[in-house]
Amino acid sequence: MTTLKKGDQAPQFSGVDQDGKSHQLADYTGKKLVVFFYPKASTPGCTAEACDLRDNFERFQANNYALLGVSADSAKAQAKFKDKYQLPFPLLADEDKSVINAFGVWGPKKFMGKEYNGIHRTTFVIDENGIIADVISEVKTKEHTNQILK
């Protein structure tokens, strides 16, 4: 789906999280950044993915990674998701899809025979210099940490 690949410069995104705080690529210079896109807060697959990342958050911190979740949900929905599952990382409420489109993860999907446009579950690992180090498009929600920290 996405046209971004390993070795590309990451998009200069800017978005607001569940608390209205702004996040942009420049905020993470000098850190590795995991930007994970998920279809909808509090759905089974998205919850499994977020909780796997939460349960391994110390491993990410020990390896100089920051995490940032992104979906098109409202700030209120993101805050509820973050609070309910005690997620230790920000969740961008990308209702205008500016970050989603910058990373190229919005497009046609099929579910139960219906076609519609939506977010393709994709994770980007960005290095300390803003270069994409990995693109994970076949996300295993319950083992996502191991896909990132391989």
Which residues does the annotation mark as catalytic?
46
Grouping H, G, I as helix, E, B as strand and the rest as coil, residue 28 is: helix
Q: Which two tokens stand for residue 106?
A: 């919005």
Taking a C-beta distance cutoff of 8 angstroms, is the pair 4, 106 a contact? no
Grouping H, G, I as helix, E, B as strand and the rest as coil, residue 16 is: strand
Give the ranges where 1-150 is alpha helix by DSSP (H): 44-55, 57-62, 75-84, 98-103, 144-148
Closest CA to 2 of 102, 98, 104: 104
Q: Which residue has the tokens 């690992």?
A: 125
Grouping H, G, I as helix, E, B as strand and the rest as coil, residue 17 is: strand
